[in-house]
Amino acid sequence: MAKRWVFWLGFFFMLGISFNSFAMTHEDLIPFLVDLPGYVGDEPDGFTGVMGTTTASREYFKGGNEKKRFAVAIFLGAVPASTHQMFNNAKGSNGYFYQTKVKGFKASVCRGVDCSPCGGILVHLSKNCAIVVNYEYIPEKEALSLIKHFDLKAIYKATKHAKVPSGGMMMPKGGGMMPGGGMEEDSGDIGY
């Protein structure tokens, strides 16, 4: 009898998890910005925007050298939805773009010829979540390898039930709308 009770309790608990959605803040994403071997990382930071776009970011410096930079941001909300099909394979006089996979997820890699070596990587975790990497004075292969230190599957699982209304934008906690149809704004500490 007790086993049956535990089974049904577990079943309804899992059913509730799969249908419930929730709003996420940048504080929920910061634990995914782990330390990297051989790199000194700044304190993680982030924000949740008025339209529900949430960003958590962290910069890393190889051996503490500020010139050798690896910057990572986790975006949740409208930005990943609009960049999901941003790049195709292309090569030109200014640089190149190509598609690859990182730990099973689609990734877009770009590099310009004006910088040596620098570039950007966009890992698409879902239609509403992406990891964006910018690197400077680090080889592209090393940058792709560093992304593998982040638990992409755990980030995907943590964000897949985030409350995202149609149009790809998340709703902030409390709805975000002010009476009269305006949007609440919280400038935080960004200076305006």
Q: Per residue in 19-71, pLDDT tens?
A: 334 567 788 899 999 999 999 999 999 988 766 688 999 999 999 899 999 99
Give the domain range for residue 56: 24-159
Residue 99 is part of a domain; what is its CATH number?
3.40.1000
84, with CB counted inside 10 A (0-12, 13-18, 19+), is middle
Buried b (16+ CB within 10 A) or exposed e, 96-123: ebeeeebeebbbbbebeeeeeebbbbbb
Rounded to two decimals, the pTM is 0.69
**Residue 45 included in any domain:** yes
Look at residue 171 in the predicted model and tell me its pLDDT.
43
Count of structural domains within the chain: 1
Length of the chain: 192
**Residue 123 included in any domain:** yes
| Chain position carrying tokens 């899992």 | 14
